[in-house]
Amino acid sequence: MFKNEEMEINLGPQHPSTHGVLRVKLHLDGETVTKCTPIIGYLHRGVEKICENQTYFQGQVWTDRMDYVASISNNLGWAEGVEKLFGIEVPRRAKYIRTMLTEQNRLASHLLWLATHALDIGAMTVFLYAFREREYLLDLFEAFCGARLTTTAFRIGGLREDLPPGFIKSAQAFQDRFLPCIDEYEELLTENRIWKKRTVGVAKLNAEDCIALGVTGPVLRAAGVPYDIRKAFPNAAYAEMDFEIPTRPEADTYARYLVRLAEMRQSHRIIQQCIEGLPEGPVMAKIPKILRSEVNEVYHPIEAPKGELGYYFVGEKGGTMPYRMHVRAPSFVNLQALSKMTEGRLLADVIAAIGTLDVVLGEIDR
């Protein structure tokens, strides 16, 4: 440990704070990290290969299992990608409902992030408070599609069923109780001196590095780049929604925390607009029973809670299954930035950096 003797330490694959089976190989000089190598693949299930052998309808169930904390966003990406591949136009009501559920799912994902990130840094009560609100959201998902986590919420061409009776009412009830809860988290964390010490200036990644490394989502926005696919390439009903892209110039962990909290408030706003402006009409487009594609390729990105989630399809002539399916998982690309964020910093900052990147291993390893 004295004479340039570095300790090599394995953070994971079984470790309380790596959020799954992430393994990070650290070279430590005392407590300072000199080299940081993320090693992934422990959860590799070959989703892309499986989807090449399943029809476009069936493939959606695998997207649930990628980013399992934001499965509705994944469903949306899949459904919209396939619709783009076939040129299907979705009814407006379905678009609104999709937008609302996706935003609720963003809330759920950000709440989970807040919970685990705070727990990593040591604040254990925020964990339970955030899970309490997430529970309401999961109840809403259960009411809509029957499952809480692996939702399989949407269908190609729209939705399977319309909203259940009473859904709007309970969603509105959640809307009413949610904003005070965010204030509560802020009271516990935002001004707390220990929280600020642990996050301000930690794991910095400026805008140039973010763009060069392909980092998207709240991490990019916390570096001051107002890039949001909901605004840049509007999908679903986002073009009709009125919301802002929260950004911060500091590009550190604290800025990401603030950006995500502000995003939660914006999502709350979007859901309110969806509830108020929900149009009447059918929820399913007219599509044939068996979809047969033409030769086509499509890359469809959406703004998942973690960043740009892109689905790349190659269609075969007359094929009912995708010839090639590829997922641009936001966590996969974002995780590349971990070594740049942490090298030269302390061991505890690695934990904060993993937390602030908000990685989900199901999505990274696919």
Partner 1 sequence: MPTMNLTQTMVMGLIQVVAVLILIFVMVPLLTFAERKVIGYIQVRLGATRTAGGHVGITGALNRGMWAMGKVPMLSILRGLPVFVADILKLILKEDIIPAKAERSVFTLAPIISVLAAFGVFSAIAFYPGALFTFPARFPIVGGLPFMGFISDVNVGVLYILALSSVGVYGIVLGAWASNSKYPLLGGLRSAAQIISYEVPLTLSLLTPVLLAGSLNFKDLSVRLSTGADMHWLAIFPLFVGFFVYTTCGFAETNRTPFDLPEAETELVAGFHTEYSGMKFGFFYLAEYTNMIVVSCFASAFFLGGYYLLPFGLQRFIPASVPFLGQPSILFFFLKVFTILFAFLWVRATVPRYRYDQLMDVGWKYLLPLTLVNLFAAALIRFAF
Partner 2 sequence: MSFLRTLIPFDIAAGLTVTGRYFGKVFFSANRKKVRTRIKHFTQEYPEVPVNLQPRFRGRLTLLKDEQGEIKCVCCLACEKICPTQVITIEKGKKEGRKMPFPVQYDFEMERCIFCEFCVESCGFDSIILNHQFELAAYNREDFSIGMEGLGQNMFEPSPVGKYSVAED
Partner 3 sequence: MEHLLVTIGRDMFAIFGVLALCGGIFMVAAKSAVHSVLGFLFTMLCVAGCFLSLDAEFLGMAQILVYAGGIVVLFLFVVMLVELSKYKEKGVFQLQTRSAVVAVVIGAAVFIGVFRNLLFGVASSEALVLRPELAQGLNVAQQNAQAVSRGLFSDYLLPFEILSVILLVALVGAVVLAKRERV
Q: Of 20-28, 75-83, 191-199, 343-351, which part binds partner 2 (CB under 8 A)?
A: 191-199
Please state, in angstroms and rounded to a whole number, the distance separating the CA atoms of residues 90 and 200: 44
Distance, CA of 348 to CA of 345 (rounded, Å): 8
Whole-number Å distance between alpha carbons of 223 and 225 = 6
Q: Of 1 and 290, which CB lies nearer to partner 3 in the complex structure?
A: 1
Single-letter amino acid, residue 188: L
Cβ-based neighbour number of residue 150 at 10 Å: 16
Closest CA to 350 of 6, 29, 56, 36: 36
Q: Rule CB under 8 A: choose which of 198, 230, 300, 306 binds partner 1.
A: 198
Instruction: State yes or no: residue 5 binds partner 3 (CB under 8 A).
Output: yes
| Site membership for partner 2, residue 125 (CB under 8 A) | yes
By CB under 8 A, residue 2 contacts partner 3: yes
Greatest Cα-to-Cα distance within the chain, rounded to the nearest angstrom: 73
Q: Which two tokens stand for residue 265?
A: 């408030």
Amino acid (one-letter) located at 207: A
**Rounded alpha-carbon distances, angstroms, from residue 218 to 1, 231, 284, 308, 351:** 37, 14, 32, 10, 18
Give the Å distances, CA to CA, from 189 to 37, 199, 207, 248, 355. 30, 11, 25, 18, 15
- Choose which of 15, 48, 162, 164 interacts with partner 2 (CB under 8 A): 164
Q: Which is nearer to partner 1, 189 or 241 (CB)?
A: 189
The entry of partner 3, partner 2, partner 1, none near residue 9 (CB within 5 to 8 angstroms by kind) is partner 1
Among the listed residues 75, 102, 152, 356, the single contact to partner 2 using CB under 8 A = 152
Residue 274: name its binding partner from partner 2, partner 1, partner 3, none (Cβ under 5 to 8 Å by kind).
none
Site string for partner 2, 41-70 (x = CB under 8 A): -------------x--xxx-xx--------
Partner whose binding site includes residue 197, from partner 1, partner 3, partner 2, none (CB under 5 to 8 Å by kind): partner 1
Residues that bind partner 2 (CB under 8 A): 54, 57-59, 61-62, 125, 132, 135, 139, 142-147, 150, 152, 160-161, 164, 184, 187-189, 191-194
Residues that bind partner 3 (CB under 8 A): 1-2, 5, 7
